[in-house]
Amino acid sequence: MKSDREEFLRKMQNLESGENPITFTYRIMEAEVHSLEMVDQILSAIESQKKLSPKKTDTILVKKALHNFLQASKQPNPEEASKAEFALMDEIENWHLNLAQRDKAISSEDLRFYCEHSKPPLSPYALLALSRFYLALPFSVATRTKFDIVVTKLFTAELWDGRRELTEPPEKIAEHLSKAYKNWTNAPSFSAEDTPIIEKALVNLRKFIDEAAKAEDLDELLAKNLFREFYNFKNNLGERFFEPSVVAASIECNVVLGNRYDELLRKKANSLGKKTTEKKYESGYDKTISEAVGMTLNPTELLEREKPEKTEEIQVLQANKKTEKKTKPKKTTQTKEKTSKEKTKKKPFLQVSPLLIILLMVTLASAAGLYIYVKWTDVPIKKANVQTFEVENSEFKDHLHAGRITGETFFGIVTKKWNVMTDGEREELIRKLLELGKQRGFRKVALINKDGITVGTGSENTIQIQE
């Protein structure tokens, strides 16, 4: 495994002409600090659920070291900047080791449960941070399985009927991951010697999908022992599992196998009855089924899940699918006529494909490294399509701490006022920002809170408020 220092030097070779190497290094290390901070928060939440009390890293020391490096980088003495850099790297390494040790007490099942039931749902930023963390750990079945869980969660969305679908084609997912790896320390690299094995792995992953499609009955699917074979196959790939195209194909396979199991289970319940089906398949439930596809496929939980009626929310999801069809935008704003029953109905958390692309492009698009948060800093960032939005001189100064326009999207950090606003007021704020976009050249809005959690999104087709 290459040292952090070697990784940074490698990344510096990709700098644009005229880029300050120290500033570049600061950005990468700042991004890693933010990433580890989010991982720390998530592990702490899981530890709290498990009633664990591990020894944690004093993050104040890390942030102090980061601040010292920033100050040293502004001084003319490069020797001081170098000393501050190594001191910061030591603090980051200690933090990473502490997190790795704490993670050993957390099972993949613990992580999967938290990812599936977290309130509010984990944002793409959090899932990216977890993906980066597990990718940097030494390979083991446990770390591979955990990486599989979070990266599958990142690139999939839950539909109204409980099934999951990819938010991006596998080719696009592989492209996003390839860009991310270039800016992640300790991300694996692959040589020409790996190519034949990777190509064979892609062929075999497609075979798992084909085998699942052939099964017309749940007993037939389980008799194939497909899930255990799939799980073992991924483990046997070792570090080659992390190759971007393999990860993308694996995510697709996870979704297809998981949906097929769900579909055939419901089909069985329709013929045998719900109770009989629960009793039959719960008793023989193998947890490897869930481990294999990175999502919980417990028979009782799947059958107990209510299947909501098709509402406007479903139409919104369908409208967000990438097609060449031109459809008339549908209004999705909640009306006052909604009944209390409709208001309390659980909304599916949608990692809408267009928004996910935007978030990823913000984090992956530049040589400044991966930003887990949409970070506004006084360090200059070289991005051709990035504009700073002067909040103080706008009508939004009471609602936003900061704003930035990246490509076709406006990103804003909301103030505490967001917490006391009604959904109608929140939607009106997003609507006004979209109206501003007609003048400033953006067509989408993404609002996050100070913790990096997405709280509201908007486009010409839909406005969504995340609870």
For residue 272 the two structure tokens come to: 């045998």
Q: Order across the sheet with 400-406: list the strands.
A: 386-389, 400-406, 409-414, 444-448, 454-458, 463-465
Q: Examine the domain organization and report whether 149 and 6 are in the same domain.
A: no
Reduce the DSSP state of residue 417 to 3 states and report it.
Answer: helix
Do 186 and 2 meet the contact criterion of CB atoms below 8 Å apart? yes
416 in the same domain as 283? no
- Does the CA dihedral 228-230-235-237 come out positive or negative? positive
Question: What is the average pLDDT score of the chain?
Answer: 78
Q: Are residues 127 and 222 in the same domain?
A: yes
Predicted local distance difference test score (pLDDT) of residue 306: 53
Residues 6 or more apart whose CB falls under 8 angstroms from that of 64 comprise none
Burial class (CB in 10 A: 0-12, 13-18, 19+), 355: buried
The verdict on residue 315 lying in a domain is no
CA 430/CA 435 separation, integer angstroms? 9
Residue 375 pLDDT grade (very low, low, confident, very high; cuts 50, 70, 90):
very low
Q: Count H helices, E strands: the chain?
A: 19, 8
Q: Within this chain, do residues 257 and 288 fall inside the same structural domain, yes or no?
A: yes
pLDDT at 18 over 50: no
Residues 140 and 257 in one domain: yes
Is the domain of 86 the same as that of 162? no
The first and second tokens of residue 31, run together, are 């991004």
Q: Do residues 360 and 380 make contact, with C-beta atoms less than 8 angstroms apart?
A: no
**Alpha-carbon span 379 to 376, nearest angstrom:** 9
Tell me the DSSP string of 383-415: -TTEEEE-GGGSTTTTTEEEEEEETTEEEEEE-
b/e map of 124-160 (b: 16 or more CB within 10 Å)?
bbbbbbbbbbbbbbebeebbbbbbbbbbbbbbbbbeb
- Same domain as 159, residue 98: no
The pLDDT assigned to 273 comes to 92
For residue 407, what pLDDT is reported? 64
Which two structure tokens, joined as six digits, stand for 72?
């040293």
Question: Token pair of 245, please?
Answer: 């195209």
Backbone angles phi, psi at 461, to 5 degrees: -95, -30
Domain that holds residue 184: 123-307+347-351
pLDDT tens, position by position, 393-402? 899 999 998 8
Residue type, 371: Y
Q: Which residue has the higher pLDDT, 350 or 298?
A: 298
Domain count, the chain: 3
Give pTM, 2 decimals: 0.65
Domain membership flag for residue 330: no
pLDDT for the residue 386: 52
Q: What is the reported pLDDT for 262?
A: 93
Higher per-residue pLDDT: 10 or 287 = 287
* Cα–Cα distance measured from residue 454 to residue 220, given in angstroms and rounded to the nearest whole number: 42
Residue 84 sits in the same domain as residue 141: no
Whether 170 and 221 share a structural domain: yes
Are residues 75 and 141 located together in one domain of the fold?
A: no
For the cut 90, the answer to whether the pLDDT of residue 226 exceeds it is: yes
| The pair of three-digit structure tokens given for residue 60, joined into one six-digit string | 């104040």
Query: Is there a single domain that holds both residue 452 and residue 414?
Result: yes
Mean predicted confidence (pLDDT) in 120-125 = 88
What token pair was written down for 178? 């390839």
CA angle 457, 373, 363 (to 5 degrees): 85
